[in-house]
């Protein structure tokens, strides 16, 4: 995957596109994450990015970039279909890594705290995918 394609994927989009992506991410993030956790080398960052994207205090452009990256992650059919186990998530990892580099300063301690809680099994990540502490 080259930077041009990743740049196209990470376009924040308008309000309508962001709303559609947010619905898609809210409904599919946790099942996809559970399936991919062994293939994503930065699971904590990924979950923190999810909480950052769902945080209404996150700037619109940053939310748009994160929602675009997370929507790409939850889509089963993308450049390399996710059904191919390890190889299927490599393009997703590339897109997510680029998004993280673009917005890293916006993922704050509260997002990481929520991620740690979800990853420990005590948070809401194992059930609803709705934000609780952000």
Among candidate residues 48, 53, 32, the one with its CA nearest the CA of residue 109: 48
Tens of pLDDT, residues 59-88? 999 999 999 999 988 886 544 444 444 455
Residues 125, 127, 131, 132: is their CA dihedral positive or negative? negative
pLDDT at residue 128 tops 80? no
d(CA 72, CA 85): 16
Q: What integer pLDDT is reported at residue 124 of this predicted model?
A: 61
Query: Residue 37 in contact with residue 43, Cβ under 8 Å?
Result: yes
CA distances from 30 to 3, 51, 134 (A): 27, 12, 17
Number of other CB atoms surrounding residue 43 within 10 Å: 15
Mean local confidence (pLDDT), 88-94? 72
Q: pTM for this structure?
A: 0.78
Using pLDDT thresholds of 50, 70 and 90, give the confidence band for residue 119: very high
Tens of pLDDT, residues 16-44? 999 999 999 999 999 989 888 877 788 99
The owner of tokens 């409904």 is: 27
pLDDT at residue 99 tops 90? yes
d(CA 94, CA 122): 29
Tens of pLDDT, residues 51-65? 999 999 999 999 999
d(CA 128, CA 108): 22
């Amino acid at each position: 995957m080259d930077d041009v394609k990743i740049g196209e994927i990470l376009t924040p989009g308008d309000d309508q596109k962001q709303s559609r992506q947010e619905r898609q991410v809210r409904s599919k993030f946790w099942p996809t994450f559970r399936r991919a956790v062994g293939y994503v080398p930065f699971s904590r960052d990924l979950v923190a990015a999810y909480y950052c994207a769902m945080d209404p205090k996150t700037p619109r452009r940053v939310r748009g970039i994160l929602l675009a990256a997370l929507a790409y992650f939850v889509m089963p059919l993308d450049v390399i279909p996710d059904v191919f186990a390890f190889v299927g998530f490599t393009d997703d990892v590339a897109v997510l890594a680029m998004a993280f580099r673009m917005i890293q300063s916006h993922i704050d301690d509260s997002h990481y705290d929520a991620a740690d809680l979800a990853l420990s099994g005590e948070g809401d990540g194992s059930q609803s995918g709705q934000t609780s502490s952000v």
